Amino acid sequence: MTLTFEDFKPGPFGSFGPHHVTREEILAFAAEFDPQPMHLDEEAARRSMLGGLAGSGWHLCSIMMRMMFDGFIGRTASMGSPGVSELRWLAPLRPGDDLMLDVEIMEARVSRSRPGTGIVTVRNTSRNAKGQALCEMVSPLMVARRAGAAAEQGGR
């Protein structure tokens, strides 16, 4: 059941969720990591650009990581990621939001330096129940190739 590099082809990969986010989770994350008033205080949030209590952008990213894990990373021969090449917060995460995560494969190629490893570049977009995009990120993932694939094909 484990997904390897060979299972990732450019194009739409899947849509995962819903993942429910509570007010308590938003407040707990903000208290620990991002205690800015717009993430903790309803009144201050109403006066901010966010127009009401909104989760930290880093909370949303962390939730997207969990949705990726539940959606496919948890059953993928994943070896981690060197970073994120693009990360945009587009609309506020609200208490009670039910999120979906759309995953698109932008590119899948074998690593030049490590022929047993594939680099799968994904674009992840989280959306609320209205379909509004909240956050978009593009990230390379390192995924192991199927056993023997490197020897068979000599890289590609």
Residues that bind its own copies (CB under 8 A): 29, 32-36, 38, 48-50, 56-59, 61-63, 65-66, 69, 73-74, 78-89, 142
**DSSP tag of 3:** B
Residue 114 C-beta: closest distance to its own copies, Å: 10
Q: Which is nearer to its own copies, 27 or 87 (CB)?
A: 87
Q: Which is nearer to its own copies, 69 or 95 (CB)?
A: 69
Q: Which is nearer to its own copies, 55 or 149 (CB)?
A: 55
Q: Which is nearer to its own copies, 50 or 152 (CB)?
A: 50
Residue 146 C-beta: closest distance to its own copies, Å: 18
Tell me the pairing of strands 98-110 and 86-89: unpaired
Q: How far apart are CA 98 and CA 94, in angstroms?
A: 9
Q: Amino acid identity, residue 91?
A: A
Cα dihedral 130, 134, 138, 139 in deg (nearest 10): -110
CA atoms within 13 A on the CB side of 85: 9
